[in-house]
Amino acid sequence: MTTKQTPAAAVAVSATIDGVTVRAEANETILHCARRYGIHIPSLCELDDIDHAPGTCRICQVEILGDGGGQAHLAPSCITPVEEGMAVMTHSPRARAAQRLQVELMFADHNLDCVVCKRHGNCELQDVARVVGLDTNRFRDPARIAARHVDDTSPALIRDMTRCVRCQRCVTVCREGQTVDALVMTGFGQELEVGLKHGLSQTESTCVSCGQCVLVCPTGALGEREEIDTVEDFLYDPGIVTVFQFAPAIRVSVGEEFGLPAGANVQGQIVAALRKLGADIVLDTNFGADVVIMEEGTELLRHLVEKKRPTFTSCCPAWINFAERHYPAILPYLSSTKSPQQTVGVIAKTYLPQKMGLDPKAIRVVSIMPCTAKKDERVRPQLSLDGTDEIDVVLTTREFVHLLGRRGIDLSALEPSTYDNPYMSAFSGAGAIFGTTGGVMEAAVRTMYYVVTGREMQPIELGQLRGFEGVRTATVDIGGDIGPVKVAMCHGLKSVRGIVEAVLDGTADLDFIEVMACPGGCVDGGGSLRSKKQYLPHALKRRETLFSIDHVANVRQSHNNPQVQELYKSFLGSPYSELAHQLLHTYYTDRHVEMTRSVKDIWDSITMSTVIY
């Protein structure tokens, strides 16, 4: 097969922007070029990090002066290429007036109840209104706002179209970044909004709740189902024993909210903050990660002996959603081991009360996760313990920050504290790196090597697994009867899709595949803090900190975590034991979504100027 491509002529051009002589690449936009020269043009819908410039908000208008007596005209700088000799004014009276009017028009049907919006004070629309100097709001029409939809059907994501500016960033990141392609534009004119494919609701749709759309949304239109009050109620109730856990990635991805450098490790401050909030017991999800390695590693070794290949990891709930919704045929290849979050929940409601003499019914487990899909995972029917939830509330990183804000807690001002729970808070370096792509694999290999050979792997850090490409493959010799194992790590669902299709069509030669649905892994999960006008700017710094936590850890293998050893010794028996199987393993179901429409259905809902039938 061949695909013909016509190459674009690559000739750089000279022009002026606000009188500054600039040199632009062929086909470079005015906005892009202006940024390189430090010239600011107000903009909203465009997001360069995901290569998104739909040219729809029309705020980034500039005036292009006519050459040789020609007429000056306005142009949207995000999609207009710089041409040779072009003279661009970004803040001429005409450009400013157009920018300002555009923002005012945008407010005609925007829900301006800002004080109850999650993005209040952290909103790109508020920012741009200030930047263009908006001073009136003449066209606001409450009827139009009321006509827009709110979809609150999902346990994870809420879509509030009354706050949507129709920038379509979410559509692009879902379609091109993640290839989930769950989001579509529905309706025309004033009724245009973002909807789900096939007219389904959020919860029944092909959406996998990865939450990458939330990270790019400039306003409060997209967000998680907020559950901070439930946590407050737990904390207030003296009859409840509150158990908190927080994910590996949380400690390295929350500091910047409190003025600390991106990637700063604030584990000790989080422990201190949770105590200050009134948490009864503070655990670490990293402990759960170590247990997962014991289970998943054992499971994988069995598969290798049985020549059943490949095995996919199962700790990422958006990946589980993706497999169930989009590729049910891949489900038999998924590890049955529960995620670290659920593992901690189950053990905290069985083993922990035994050890501590607590009433299991009084325990409420709260997870703090960089993830929106964890809220989906929490309510999966197969993840319940004798009819009660394994996890009672999931807070995203963002909600956690809000909770701290409610209590006036500034992480940066807290003295770091340490864990005091002797049963479920210790973790190895292997558990710590779970939060980044390749980390689960590296942790598993360390333990499998030991199980097979009886020796610790040397060197312990597997540089060959630590790249950042979407898909990385390696062959790792874990010795003994098993020998070389072919592994792959993929992050971002676009890469994942490729691997899954390769496995299904038989072209993948792999034993073990680590999957993280979000690009970069949990350090950039869909529950992370938002970055205005940027997408995943801190990925690598957060990742480095996780590796350094492992590097200086006293215990670097999951099987050497003394609390894990004690758990198996005094409670579970051995990995993959009957009790372990009952508590720490799960199953998956086919939840494929089919389009089943007739021509009549389509014709009944087509909007067009002239409809024949």
Partner 1 sequence: MTQIAYGFWDGEVLDNRKGGSGLPADFAEPQNLDTFDDGNAVRAFIGDRGFFVMDEQVSLLDAFRQYLDRAAGQSCGKCTPCRVGTGLIRDALDALCRGEEGALDLDGIAGMARHITDTALCGLGQTCGGALIAAIENFRDVVEAEIAAAPAPRQHGMSYVTAPCMEACPCKINVPRYIDYIKDGRPEYSLGVILQKVPMAATCGRVCVRFCEMACRRNLVDQAVGIKTLKRYVADLQSGPNPLRFASDQIRTPLGPEMRVAVVGAGPAGLSCAYHLLLRGYHVDIFEALPEAGGMAAIGIPSYRLPRHVLKTETETLSALGGRFLFNRVMGRDFTTDSLFADGYLAVFLGLGCQEPVLLGVAGEDPAMRGYESGIGFMLKVHDHIAGTRKTELAGDVVAVVGGGNVAMDCARSALRMGAAGVHVIYRRTREEMPADKSEIEAAEEEGVVFHFLTNPERVLSADGRIVGLTLVGMRVTEPDKKGRMGVEPVPGSESDFACAHLVAAIGQQVQADALSQEELIGLNRWKCVAADPGSLATSRSGVFAGGDCVSGPGTLVQAMSHGLKAARNIDDWVQHGRIRFFPRSRIRQMVKDNHMLAASDIKIPILNEYRVHHPELEPEIRKHTFDEVEQTIGQEEAYREASRCLRCYRIYSVVTQQPVPEGAV
In the complex, the residues that contact partner 1 under the rule CB under 8 A are 1-6, 8, 27, 29, 54-59, 61, 64, 73-76, 79-81, 83, 86, 98, 101-102, 105-106, 108-109, 138-139, 166, 171, 175-176, 181, 183-192, 197, 594-600, 602-603, 605-606, 608-613
CB of 169 to partner 1, least distance (A): 13
Q: Kindly tell me which of 189 and 459 has the beta carbon lying closer to partner 1.
A: 189
42-72: b or e for each residue (b if 16 or more CB lie within 10 Å)? bbbbbbbebebbbebbbbbbbbbeeeeeeee
Residues 6+ apart with CB under 8 A from 248: 285, 286, 289, 431, 432, 433, 434, 435, 439, 522, 546
Q: Kindly tell me which of 115 and 611 has the beta carbon lying closer to partner 1.
A: 611
* Phi, psi for 458 (deg, rounded to 5): -135, 135
CB of 102 to partner 1, least distance (A): 5
Instruction: Concatenate the DSSP letters of all residues of 531-556 into one string.
Output: -TT-SSTTHHHHHHHHHHHHHT-S--
Closest CA to 347 of 144, 570, 528, 555: 570
Distances (CA, A) of 407 to 400, 410, 418, 468, 583: 11, 9, 21, 38, 36
Crossing angle of helices 267-277 and 397-406, rounded to 10°: 50
CB of 402 to partner 1, least distance (A): 31
- Cα separation, 263 vs 528, in Å, equals 12
CB of 44 to partner 1, least distance (A): 9
Distances (CA, A) of 125 to 114, 129, 144, 582: 11, 6, 18, 50
CB atoms near residue 541 (< 10 Å): 16
CB of 5 to partner 1, least distance (A): 7
Q: Kindly tell me which of 115 and 599 has the beta carbon lying closer to partner 1.
A: 599
Q: Kindly tell me which of 30 and 465 has the beta carbon lying closer to partner 1.
A: 30
CB of 501 to partner 1, least distance (A): 12
Q: Kindly tell me which of 3 and 382 has the beta carbon lying closer to partner 1.
A: 3
Q: Kindly tell me which of 108 and 228 has the beta carbon lying closer to partner 1.
A: 108
- Cα separation, 443 vs 438, in Å, equals 9
In sequence order, what E strands does 37-166 have? 61-65, 73-76, 87-89, 150-151, 157-160
CB of 115 to partner 1, least distance (A): 24
Q: Kindly tell me which of 552 and 612 has the beta carbon lying closer to partner 1.
A: 612
Q: Kindly tell me which of 217 and 485 has the beta carbon lying closer to partner 1.
A: 217
Q: Kindly tell me which of 359 and 594 has the beta carbon lying closer to partner 1.
A: 594
Sign of torsion over alpha carbons 338, 343, 346, 350 = positive
147-170: b or e for each residue (b if 16 or more CB lie within 10 Å)? ebbebebbbbbbbbbbbbbbbbbb
CB of 28 to partner 1, least distance (A): 9
CB of 54 to partner 1, least distance (A): 7
CB atoms near residue 577 (< 10 Å): 16
Which residue type does 393 have?
V
CB of 77 to partner 1, least distance (A): 11
Residues 6+ apart with CB under 8 A from 609: none
Closest CA to 558 of 433, 431, 435, 422: 431
Q: Kindly tell me which of 139 and 236 has the beta carbon lying closer to partner 1.
A: 139
Q: Kindly tell me which of 142 and 483 has the beta carbon lying closer to partner 1.
A: 142
CB of 508 to partner 1, least distance (A): 20
Gyration radius (Cα) of the chain, Å: 26
